[in-house]
Amino acid sequence: MSTEPFSSLFKESKIFQNREVLSPHFVPASLLFRDKQIDDIVKSLNPSLRGERGRNLFVYGKTGTGKTSCMKYIIDKIRTLPVVKAKIIYINCRIHNSRYRVLHKIISDYLPLYAKKGYGIVDIYEKVINWIEEDGKVLVVVLDEIDVVKDLDDLVYTLTRANTDIKSGGITIVGISNKISFKDALDPRSLSTLYENELVFPPYNSNELSAILKDRAEKGFKKGVIDQSAINLAAAIAAKDSGDARLALKILSKAGEISDEHSLDAVTTKEVSDASKYAEEEIAYELVNTLPEHQKLIIYAISMLSIQGSRYKRLSEGTDTYLFSGDVYNKYSQISESLQKEPKSSRWYRKYITDLEMQGLINTYESGKGIRGHTKLIKLAYSPEKMKDTIEKTLLRESEAEVGK
């Protein structure tokens, strides 16, 4: 076999100095334009860090507004402080997406001897309670993307009610979510146990994104390979969409990859423009993987109907094709039932459609009179084939995980 396909592995990049710095997951030594948010989070957590039972905290904001980066930055700082009377754990709810998995993650990090399979919810819960009571510590549980937890009611109720069972010490929840309305889905019994502060992260504007990208580019790219005009364009594209720093960084990183692949000496506005198309789609498919289960099923239904051709074409929009909202709901219900899941009510379905449009995954149009009366028409914003494949892979992984749990 020829080694030609692997020859590029050994070539030094003409563009990148440290590609990791351009990753959305990289947490820099300082976070620009988020001093106030960091200060607000620390103030909210102060009682818990002193070993007192403090308020729970919910942090909201659109994707790419710095919520996770700020929280990880704060956690890293807290762990270096010698006087803190609390333990703090970060849990990615995309991975640990049930009450059992969240509690098991706590056990795995702090009581690894008990992390073997076989313990049920009650056993794990009691182990956590006993561990907290040993020295009266406070456990701060940071739940990133808390809204994707399947049995969120049970998780919230368990963690908040634990403070009733704990004689000395306590548990504080920090929930991070893209959706400010996610608590609307909670059962009244769970809501009644919450005693929380709330903090909203605003989107970055174009100037802020430009400064963030410049800071990352100076460390991530080799000197002189990218100029300010290319950085400004990447910032402007991301600011126009939603002020998403993650999207801006993906555009910049992809632009560097395009330059590298074509053996160019610089990253220009052309590469940034080309990269934006790839980055926006990649963000969309990543976002789909983080959706709550029933929102995924709705996107799946829209994808399937779009592919199958059960659709309504708006003449005024040329080639754009829209689906009847009622047809989508019926398809979603069929899919849910085939997976032995109870479909949500039409009221919840309408709310999910609004959420999906706000996240840029679908477009909707009110038909007005004359087309089945007054109805909403729906169009997928991305390739239905790719969306369908993405969700099928996600559903398959989740099914395998449930079997293996």
Which CATH architecture best describes the domain 291-404?
Answer: Orthogonal Bundle (1.10)
Which token pair is 353? 């459609």
Mean pLDDT (whole number) for 281-292: 83
Rounded to 5 degrees, φ, ψ at 193 are -90, -10
Lowest average pLDDT, out of 100-114, 204-218, 305-319, goes to 305-319
Cα separation, 371 vs 67, whole angstroms: 43
Which of 71-80, 177-186, 351-360, 361-370 has the highest mean predicted lDDT (pLDDT)?
Answer: 71-80
Tell me the CA distances in angstroms from 391 to 18, 107, 114, 303, one per residue in order: 33, 30, 34, 10
Contacts of 2 (CB under 8 A, 6+ apart): none
Is the per-residue pLDDT at 404 higher than 70? Answer: no
Percentage, residues of the chain above pLDDT 70: 90
Is the per-residue pLDDT at 243 higher than 90? Answer: no
Q: What is the pTM of this model?
A: 0.80
Annotate 253-276 with DSSP letters as a single string. HHHHHHHHHTT-SSB-HHHHHHHH
Give me the residues paired with residue 267 across strands. 226
Could you report the per-residue pLDDT of 132-180, keeping only the tens digit for each?
999 999 999 999 999 889 899 999 999 999 999 999 999 999 999 987 7
Could you report the per-residue pLDDT of 176-206, keeping only the tens digit for each?
998 777 787 788 878 877 878 999 999 999 9
Indicate where the chain has its CATH 3.40.50.300 domain(s): 35-200
Instruction: Tell me the CATH class for 35-200.
Output: alpha beta
Mean pLDDT (whole number) for 26-35: 95
Alpha carbons within 13 angstroms on the beta-carbon side of residue 304 total 16
Contacts of 318 (CB under 8 A, 6+ apart): none
The band of 403, judged by pLDDT with boundaries at 50, 70 and 90, is very low
Cα separation, 35 vs 38, whole angstroms: 5
Cα separation, 61 vs 295, whole angstroms: 19
E runs forming strands in 212-359: 312-313, 321-324
Lowest average pLDDT, out of 63-72, 127-136, 361-370, goes to 361-370
Which token pair is 70? 């700020």
Q: Tell me what pLDDT residue 2 has.
A: 53
Mean pLDDT (whole number) for 103-131: 90
Length in residues, the chain? 405
| The pairing of beta strand 362-366 with beta strand 376-380 | antiparallel
Q: Which candidate, 236, 243, 104, places its Cα nearest to that of 178?
A: 243
Q: 172 near 141, Cβ under 8 Å? A: yes
For tokens 């990148």, name the residue.
16
Is the per-residue pLDDT at 311 higher than 60? Answer: no
Mean pLDDT (whole number) for 49-64: 91
Q: Helix H segments across 339-380?
A: 346-358
Query: At 363, is the secondary structure helix, strand, or coil?
Result: strand
For tokens 């073997």, name the residue.
116
Which token pair is 330? 């019926």
Cα separation, 359 vs 373, whole angstroms: 28
Contacts of 67 (CB under 8 A, 6+ apart): 59, 60, 61, 144, 176, 201
For tokens 């056993």, name the residue.
123
Mean pLDDT (whole number) for 377-399: 83
Q: Tell me what pLDDT residue 357 has.
A: 87
Q: Which residues in 24-35 are b (16+ Cβ under 10 Å) and which e?
A: beeeeeebbbbe
List strands edge to edge, sheet with 138-144. 86-92, 138-144, 170-177, 56-60, 196-200
Cα separation, 138 vs 131, whole angstroms: 10
Is the per-residue pLDDT at 401 higher than 60? Answer: no
Mean pLDDT (whole number) for 294-318: 75
For tokens 């219900």, name the residue.
333
Q: 70 near 36, Cβ under 8 Å? A: no
Q: Tell me what pLDDT residue 184 has.
A: 76
Is the per-residue pLDDT at 11 higher than 90? Answer: no
pLDDT, averaged across the chain: 88
For tokens 């790839």, name the residue.
278
CA 351 to chain centre: 19
CA 97 to chain centre: 12
Is the per-residue pLDDT at 316 higher than 50? Answer: no
Indicate where the chain has its CATH 1.10.10.10 domain(s): 291-404
Indicate the DSSP class of residue 221: B
Cα separation, 183 vs 330, whole angstroms: 26
Tell me the CA distances in angstroms from 81 to 67, 85, 87, 135, 171, one per residue in order: 22, 10, 11, 18, 19
Which CATH architecture best describes the domain 13-21+204-285?
Answer: Orthogonal Bundle (1.10)
Is the per-residue pLDDT at 310 higher than 70? Answer: no
